[in-house]
Structure 1
């Protein structure tokens, strides 16, 4: 079972998400929090696999909570799915920097929410075509590349850079494989090596890096 912690200051939102997620046979909502500090406490005690984290909450925002949870967690860290009302919310950028693995909008389709939770539980950061690229572009504009980014870029092979660029466009492994006429397993291997070189822990952080360094451009 995928253990999920819901964090949102609106009880009605948490209730709706609980109903949606508990309908899935492989997902169980194990706790709820209405603010950041409570989320940090419950994350340590309940050890969820995925945390659905709101960003704007009185009494402690999701950005601070995400950073604290991921910094304090020993062993396998939970995956944080940022859930926000606005796709260009200022807090989203900070949450991504803090280590969040993906985000969805609160008006997302219920099936997409379930798929997002499942994807994060498998270690696959959420890269959504319709929303993520807009956020990543703005993220890249506000966060210029560092010396470490430039050093990592120099380590990528041409094929690895191509695959990272296609990933940033929102393409799946299968779509990348089809475009390059290679096997899906080969795409995974190239992508895994590229992520290791740039220090990205998941697909979403890889997309962030791609836009920040100019490997991918609007």
Structure 2
């Protein structure tokens, strides 16, 4: 990172507790968060950092979870806690740098492979008999359509084409869906869909 003219290394923490303290004292824009740390794990640290930003009324740092395994349950928990994505620790440096810039721009990143495999694997551990349709009660009929298409991974343009509306309309509906369901990113929306058994 230090070799990149547009990136500045703010600090490095030895454990989750130190990361929470440093994030409060010197808020960075992007955090690479190891999920397996002593004192406090990365999921807890992610949640505390994001919650503290909301409490203090400052912009929430974007967090990329780092894991060793592609099907790590902690990744799902990190996304639910507010992480903007995850990468494997074995990721190439160029991929890592691109991920930092991507997340900084407001998008999510995931390790190569299927994000749906990750959340589907995690959903099998949830003791739910069938789809929890009550989770979608806050949404209008059109918002439900947008929710399901977004959860399946369709882009805004693909959703607009499927629903015969403009991309601007899709973006408006998607913002409303995220707000009503209390999720911050499309990645969290996918997690929400699997958690409530709303995708096959």
Whole-Å separation in 1 of the counterparts to 2:109 and 2:144: 20
Normalised to the residue count of structure 2, the TM-score between the two structures is: 0.81
TM-score (norm 1): 0.75
Alpha-carbon distance between aligned partners in 2 of 1:198 and 1:204, rounded to the nearest angstrom? 13
How far apart are 1:82 and its partner, in Å?
0.4
Q: Which residue of the partner structure matches residue 109 of structure 2? A: 126
Deviation of the 1:128 alpha carbon: 6.6
Which structure 1 segments of 5+ residues have no match? 1-17
CA deviation digits over 1:64-91, x for unaligned, max 9?
2212222323222212110111111132
CA contact (8 A) 2:76 2:191 kept: no
Distance 2:165 2:92 in 1: 33
2:136 corresponds in structure 1 to: 153
1:200 aligns with 2:183: yes
Instruction: Give deviations 1:119-169, integer Å, cap 9, x for gaps.
Output: 433443336772321221123333457xxx754402323332232222223
CA distance in 2, matches of 1:62, 1:49: 17
Partner of 1:162: 145
In the alignment, structure 1 residue 41 sits paired with structure 2 residue 24: no
Partner of 1:28: 8
Which residue matches 1:51? 31
Equivalent residue, structure 1, for 2:85: 102
Q: Please provide the CA RMSD for this pair.
A: 2.6
Q: In the alignment, is the contact (CA less than 8 A) between 1:126 and 1:203 conserved in 2?
A: no
SS at structure 2 position matched to 1:81: strand
Paired residue secondary structure (1:103) = strand
Bigger strand fraction: 1
Q: Is 1:139 aligned to 2:126, yes or no?
A: no
* Residues 139 and 208 in structure 1, CA contact (< 8 A), matched pair in contact too: no
**Are residue 190 (structure 1) and residue 170 (structure 2) matched?**
no
Q: Secondary structure at the match of 2:86?
A: strand
Structure 2 unmatched runs, 5+: none
Q: 1:77 to 1:154 in 2, by over 3 A?
A: same
How many angstroms does 1:47 deviate by? 0.4
Give the corresponding residue for 1:8: none
- The alpha-carbon deviation at position 52 of structure 1 amounts to 0.8
Q: How far apart, CA to CA, are the structure 1 residues paired with 2:52 and 2:122?
A: 25
